[in-house]
Amino acid sequence: MPKTQEQTFGHASNKKPYHAKNHVEKGDTLIYALGGLGEVGKNMYCYEHENEICIVDCGVLFPGDDLLGVDYVIPDYHHLIRMNKKRKFLVITHGHEDHIGGIPFLLKQVQIDAIYAPRFAKALILKKLSEHKGLEKTKIIEIDENSSITTKYFKVGFFNTIHSIPDSLGVHITCPNGSIVHTGDFKFDLTPVGTNADYQKMAFIGVTQPDLLMSDSTNSGVEDFSISERKVANEIQDIMRKTKQRLIVATFASNVHRVAQIIEAATKFGRKVIVFGRSMENVVDIGRKMGTIKVKNSDFLSPEELAHTPDDKVCIICTGSQGEPLAALSRIANGTHRFIHLKPGDTIVFSSNPIPGNQSSVNRVIDNLFRSGATVLTKSILNNLHTTGHASKEEQKLMLQLVRPTYFMPIHGEYKMLMQHRQTAMETGIPKENIFVCANGDILILRDHKVLQSDWRYQGDDIYVDGNDISGLSTAVLKDRRILADNGLVAVILAIDSKENKILMRPVIVSRGFVFIKDSQGLIKEAEYIVNNSLQEKMKEKTTFSEIKNCVRSTLEPFLYKKTHRNPIVIPVILNSKQTMEELQKNRKSFHARKPRTKTS
């Protein structure tokens, strides 16, 4: 029913004006994500109260094949830039790229008072910032499960969680309107490698009755408990013991515990270790400094020593488990690696699962490895070569039961994953009206221990980063790249005399990635003839350069599509100089005078 004037403005001067319950009021705490909802990557969650914003994580998303030439996808920081007068501090849950990769881009645009990060993440962030001039002196404060951050409006505490990287933390945020638990990435492993999850602290937080739980949704569709990392360690040791030839293991560089297990297994069975791949080398270096990876210098091989070491004494650890074209394993498979050339009998172990969308790339690499005579081992129902770092459905239920929130918001996952997590929460007893499946930019209002969804939202777009350019590529640029990739380019070179308003010579058409010129001379000449006739008509009256270009496009584009069913980018190039025209005409005559080469056997 529409609101009446009395409902909207109040019917007496001594009464408070009416407010819609979903309208943001002074004193509300706002909760919103700028990245991480409807996607797996670029996690960034904000908690805003009055003039303070607590930001949890600042990640990147690695682009798919459809984003041509894009290096990273980052959140749109426009709202935080507009709020630059508000005090902002950044809390990091762990050191994976989808949680820390956006920090350099954020710091270049937004004033951040301090970054609070666990030990391993801090080391990775320092390494990252050292590559960006001017960011080396950023204030980074190390935190652990016993740390607390107290500001005017927020009190932030932490609890240990288990993930595939050391020093992974969950976050407990208390503000004037209530409390929020943010899990970060987590799983439950009853026989973990490294620090155990702090079940007691999670249960204690549950006793305090937090208002909102925001929980990792990545594996919402996976039944049962995930495999323990200990089982993976045993499987790797078994392979090390049985393999009598050279061993190459590919895994995620970010899975530090796995890398540590591989190195420990190798040294246990008398193998020397060599590491390839920049990210893998960085992680091993930091892991050794942190004490997470325990190995002596004498257990490592240099590239020069590799050729002179017996095969059964070698373990190569490398990047490329996702089929990345430039990663070490892809170059090994293609025979282009500087130091490693495959031999029959080599055993390659994929201690990973293909990320959705990477399956075809991984299969190509595996096929090339088999062609070289190598034995390839991948995760299957017959082995435990990999386990996830994210909670499955049963582990998500355990988190919900430990924390016992009044309201729930699934985070960190594609829309399907968020909806599956919603169903899991309902199964544990949370009413469906208390569950919020949001998109990036949607705003939840925490008001006096109640959570509402606002009727307005912030901008939550993607920014496409090419190199280190944080201005972002527009969608028009990406559209042009797709057209170039699919249909190529046609340039039309026009020679005109603007003073006399006439064409000095017939247009010259050059194409790249559209048709093979030598086999399409007839098509090119016909296109030149049609464009020339159209321009002759156009030049009978006074015109502008812009109108000439539009005339070329509107004439040539439909003609080329009719003939080839392809839409190349058409670029008119206008040369307005008689001398240039004469040189162009001379070159054109010599080009047409050349006979096409014939194929020889």
Positions annotated as catalytic residues are 216, 390
Nearest to 505 by CA among 469, 531, 466: 531
Distance of alpha carbon 255 from alpha carbon 292, whole angstroms? 12
Tokens of 44: 């960034």
Buried b (16+ CB within 10 A) or exposed e, 527-542: bbeebeebbeebbeee
Contact status, residue 393 vs residue 222, Cβ threshold 8 Å? yes
Distance of alpha carbon 138 from alpha carbon 126, whole angstroms? 9
Bridge partners (DSSP) of residue 74 are 463
Place of tokens 């540590």: 260
DSSP symbol at 391: -
Tokens of 277: 């791949």
* Residues in binding site for Zn(2+): 94, 96, 98-99, 163, 185, 412
Nearest to 205 by CA among 426, 14, 399: 399
* Residues in binding site for Ca(2+): 69, 71, 466
| 3-state DSSP assignment of residue 291 | coil
Residues contacting 345, CB < 8 A, separation 6+: 245, 246, 311, 373, 374, 375
Contact status, residue 17 vs residue 3, Cβ threshold 8 Å? no
With left for phi above 0 and alpha for psi between -120 and 50, is residue 77 left, alpha or beta?
alpha
Backbone phi, psi, residue 45, to 5°: -125, 135
State the first-to-last Cα distance of the chain, in angstroms, to the nearest integer.
83
H helix or E strand, kind and range, residue 248? strand 247-250
Q: What is the gyration radius of the CA atoms in the chain, in angstroms? A: 30
Please report, for the chain, how many H helices and E strands are present, in that order. Answer: 18, 25
Question: In terms of DSSP bridges, do strands 247-250 and 347-350 run parallel, antiparallel, or are they unpaired?
Answer: parallel
Contact status, residue 248 vs residue 349, Cβ threshold 8 Å? yes
* Residues in binding site: 69, 71, 94, 96, 98-99, 163, 185, 253-255, 386-390, 412, 466
